[in-house]
Amino acid sequence: MKAGAVRALSLLAFLGLWEWYGRTASSFTVAPFSAVMADLASGIADGTLVRAALGTLLVAFVGYAIAIVVGIAVGAAIALWDWAEHTIEPLVHALYATPVSLTIPILGIYTGLGFGGRVTLTVFWCVFEIIVTTASGIRAVPRGLVDVGRAFGASRARLYRSIVLPAALPSIALGLRLGVGRALRGAVTAELLLSVVNLGAVMVRASSGFDVERLLSGIVLVVLMGLALTWVAERVEHRVVAHRA
Amino acid sequence: MTSKDLAETGAVTAVEAAVPASAARPVGRGLRNPWVQRAIVWGALLLAWEVAARRAGAFFLPTVGSVLRGYAAIVADGGVWLLAGSLRQMLAGFALAALVGVPLGLAIGTFRSVEWALGIYVRALLVTSLTALLPFLILFFGTGFRFRMSVVFLFAIVYIVTSTAAGVHAVDRGLSEMASAYGASTLRRFAFVTVPGSLPFVISGLRLGLGQAVQGMIVAELWVTLDTGRRLVALGLARELGEFFALASLVALAGALLTHLLLVAQRRLTPWQPEVRASVGGHE
């Protein structure tokens, strides 16, 4: 209860400060909180912000889905097959350490600047996280469990399905949870820096037209979407891990 | 922010650090030798690249040779100094993030009231696309040094704060209790138990933060088309792809090198770290 009280107080203080600063005459770059909320409500009511947010989410989800398939496949290959471990894993780590935004100026050459390009950037943004957590999860599967399974005569497929996968699941779930946030980040970045559409377009248009209220309501929306997606992913992760325990 | 969130970044750090686990394995012979495998696969990839580049033409994919000539071009046309200037600005923002982030992380990890009050903002930044803040930051700070510094600062500080706070949580409870049992004051305990105990996590956070800082630098420079970012965009538009790939790889290499320096510092400053990690792991 005390924690909740402190949190609420801190949030109130922040919003109060925002409101006060927004109302002072010198702060033309910050609109008061109340004005931003009013704008957010009207943007949602007339559908502009909803359409934009759905467009952004579509890019994020398609990219995320592709990244899951590719990430788990590559991660499993790295953990299970020494050729992949020795040759692909160093490349994965090199790419993981490379800032993805470096690809933005030339990505359009290969994918076009449309939906495909934005999805590709989103995949790059989150796939390496999933590869690394999948590989380390499968590597950490206790040898003893596999040996017991083998001793009881389980087939190879059965070993993977009933022992390796469940034991590696918590780590994979962690990667998938972190991946959701990164996918959204990738999609928003693509819409601002690759081709300006959806929420990116809302914010760029607002900032060039000096519509500070709309700009800030776009940012608030992005923050809320990030919090909501992570919350959902945490619920799912809890399910997965609890089911195992 | 709950301690679970803090543990999350700790987990990422651990995942990141636990990767080179295969080093102890005996080196095989022939096709089992990792370097033979690498020579085959990487050689094939390089060959496939070259063939694809020759077929697609310089307009789509640069040949290996043209990337190598790109490096020479970067040195000749001053691209190297452009990059050095960008990195210097990036390091200024990163230093500020470290100066603010480490004490903040220690405070969040040590005092629960601070965590309650500030954790929500750290968490919000952690899950938010910071790129979305660019249009706002530019209205607030203009397009100059302060803009780029603020972007790098925000990209870096999130990971520094969360990892440092996770480090405080990971400090061995027993050590803390022993220190107080022997009559150490709160301040002494903080200086001699909490700070050294969380140091490995602090440095891990700095490493993650530095990687993000480079990302922030590129994003900010692409947004306002200045310095290295501007050069990258220009090279892409002019389809000087050989030089583009050369410059992009230099940015990545510079980032990797700086991060590696922190890894070296980590080994130097916290030689006991494996023990810390083992004992922390042992409690789970």
ipTM here: 0.88
Among A147-156, B19-28, B67-76, name the most confident range: B67-76
The CA distance from B182 to the nearest CA of chain A, in Å, is: 31
Find chain B residues with C-beta within 8 A of A10's C-beta. 116-118, 120
Over range A23-48, report the average pLDDT. 88
Please say whether the beta carbons of A49 and A217 come within 8 A.
yes
pLDDT score for A244: 58
Q: How close, in Å, is residue B148 to chain A by CA atoms?
A: 15
pLDDT exceeds 70 at position B11: no
Q: What is the mean pLDDT of residues A68-90?
A: 93
State CA B17 to chain mean position distance. Answer: 13
pLDDT of residue B134 exceeding 70 = yes
Please determine, for residue B112, whether its predicted confidence score (pLDDT) is greater than 50. yes
Q: Which residues of B touch A94 (CB under 8 A)?
A: 252, 256
Report the gap between the CA of A1 and the closest CA in chain B (Å).
11
Confidence of residue B26 (pLDDT cuts 50, 70, 90): low
Q: Report residue B9's pLDDT band, with 50, 70 and 90 as the boundaries.
A: very low
Say yes or no to pLDDT of B275 above 70.
no
Residue A186, both tokens: 């990738």
CB contact under 8 A, B236 and A109: yes
Share of chain A above pLDDT 70, in %: 97
Q: How far apart are CA B181 and CA B176, in angstroms?
A: 9
In this prediction, residue B18 carries a pLDDT of 40
CB atoms B222 and A3 under 8 Å: no
Q: Say if the Cβ atoms of B126 and A181 lie within 8 Å.
A: yes
Rounded to the nearest angstrom, the minimum Cα separation between B133 and chain A is: 7
Q: Is A3 on the interface with B (CB under 8 A)?
A: yes
Average pLDDT over residues A107-119: 92
Are B116 and A219 an interchain contact pair (Cβ–Cβ within 8 Å)? no
Mean pLDDT of B13-18: 40
Write out the two tokens for B46.
């390089």
The reported pLDDT for the residue numbered B25 is 52
| Mutation choice for A interface testing from B120, B127, B141, B231 by most A CBs within 10 A | B127
Sign of CA dihedral A141, A145, A147, A150: negative
At residue B189, the pLDDT reads 84
Given a cut of 50, is residue B7 above it in pLDDT? no
Read off the pLDDT of residues B71-93 as tens digits, 9 standing for 90 and up. Answer: 999 999 888 999 999 999 999 99
Determine contact, residues A53/A199, Cβ cutoff 8 Å. Answer: yes
A222 and B222 in contact by Cβ < 8 A? no
Percent of chain B predicted with pLDDT > 70: 86
Nearest-Cα residue of chain B relative to residue A8: B117
Report d(CA B247, CA B235) in Å as an integer.
Answer: 9
Eight-class DSSP state of B182? T
pLDDT at B8: 44
Calculate the average pLDDT of chain A: 90
Question: Which tops the pLDDT comparison, B183 or A54?
Answer: A54
Gap from A157 CA to chain B (nearest CA, Å): 25
Mutation target to probe the A interface, by most A beta carbons within 10 A, among B60, B129, B259 is B129
CA distance B235 to chain A (A): 8
> Which among B19, B138, B252 is the nearest to A102, CB-wise?
B252
Provide DSSP, chain A: -HHHHHHHHHHHHHHHHHHHHHHSTT-TTS--HHHHHHHHHHHHHTSHHHHHHHHHHHHHHHHHHHHHHHHHHHHHHHHH-HHHHHHHHHHHHHHHTS-GGGGHHHHHHHH-SSHHHHHHHHHHHHHHHHHHHHHHHHHTS-HHHHHHHHHTT--HHHHIIIIIHHHHHHHHHHHHHHHHHHHHHHHHHIIIIIS--HHHHHHHHHHHTT-HHHHHHHHHHHHHHHHHHHHHHHHHHHHHHHHH-
Q: What is the pLDDT of residue B274?
A: 57
What CA–CA distance (Å, rounded) separates B60 from A84? 28
- Average pLDDT value for residue range A134-158: 89
Indicate which of A27, A28, A59, A86 best probes the interface with B, i.e. most B CBs within 10 Å of its own CB: A86
So what's the pLDDT on residue A2?
82
The answer to whether A105 contacts B237, with C-beta atoms less than 8 Å apart, is yes
**In contact, B200 and B166? CB cutoff 8 Å:** no
The chain-wide mean pLDDT, for chain B, equals: 83
Asked if residues B242 and A83 have their Cβ atoms less than 8 Å apart, the reply is: no
Q: Which chain B residues are Cβ-neighbours of A110 within 8 angstroms?
A: 60
